[in-house]
Amino acid sequence: GAGVSQSPRYKVAKRGQDVALRCDPISGHVSLFWYQQALGQGPEFLTYFQNEAQLDKSGLPSDRFFAERPEGSVSTLKIQRTQQEDSAVYLCASSLAEYGIYGYTFGSGTRLTVV
């Protein structure tokens, strides 16, 4: 597609519920990133994929967070047993190359509210 597509756009979850957030990157983009952006803050890195390989998951805040990209294209970020502190905008970005030289294209994000 022309851009990075994320769905759903908005998600309200009850505390304790599991959620799945989808990212559809630009076709052919090798690298895919997930970021978490709390209200009034800059995005914080969560995890990085190069094709289907998850090369860096150092930013995942707990073992409740899990991400996958099984075929090297679409990625899913799953949050189990959601907590109020998980409320944030989750941004996905993709890049043509393995390294950042070409820049990164971001999706519009999924706003998760845990009530």
Partner 1 sequence: AQSVTQLGSHVSVSEGALVLLRCNYSSSVPPYLFWYVQYPNQGLQLLLKYTTGATLVKGINGFEAEFKKSETSFHLTKPSAHMSDAAEYFCAPVVQGAQKLVFGQGTRLTINP
Residues in the chain: 115
Task: Report d(CA 45, CA 95) in Å as an integer.
Answer: 15
Which C-beta is closer to partner 1: that of 82 or that of 95?
Answer: 95
Closest to partner 1 by CB, 2 vs 14, is 2
62 binding partner 1? (CB under 8 A): no
Least distance (Å) from partner 1 to the CB of residue 46?
A: 10
Q: How far apart are CA 77 and CA 66, in angstroms?
A: 6
Secondary structure of 31-51 in the HEC alphabet? EEEEEEECCCCCCEEEEEEEC
Helix (H, G, I), strand (E, B) or coil at 102: helix
Binding range to partner 1, per CB under 8 A, among 19-27, 63-71, 80-88, 89-97: 89-97
> How many angstroms separate the Cα of 78 from the Cα of each of 2, 17, 23, 68?
25, 11, 11, 8
Residue count, binding to partner 1 (CB under 8 A)? 28
Q: Does 25 bind partner 1 (CB under 8 A)?
A: no
Instruction: Establish if 22 lies at the interface with partner 1 (CB under 8 A).
Output: no
Applying CB under 8 A, does 28 fall inside the site for partner 1?
no
Which residues contribute to the site for partner 1 (CB under 8 A)? 4, 31, 33, 35, 41-45, 48, 50, 55-56, 91, 93, 95, 98-101, 103-109, 111
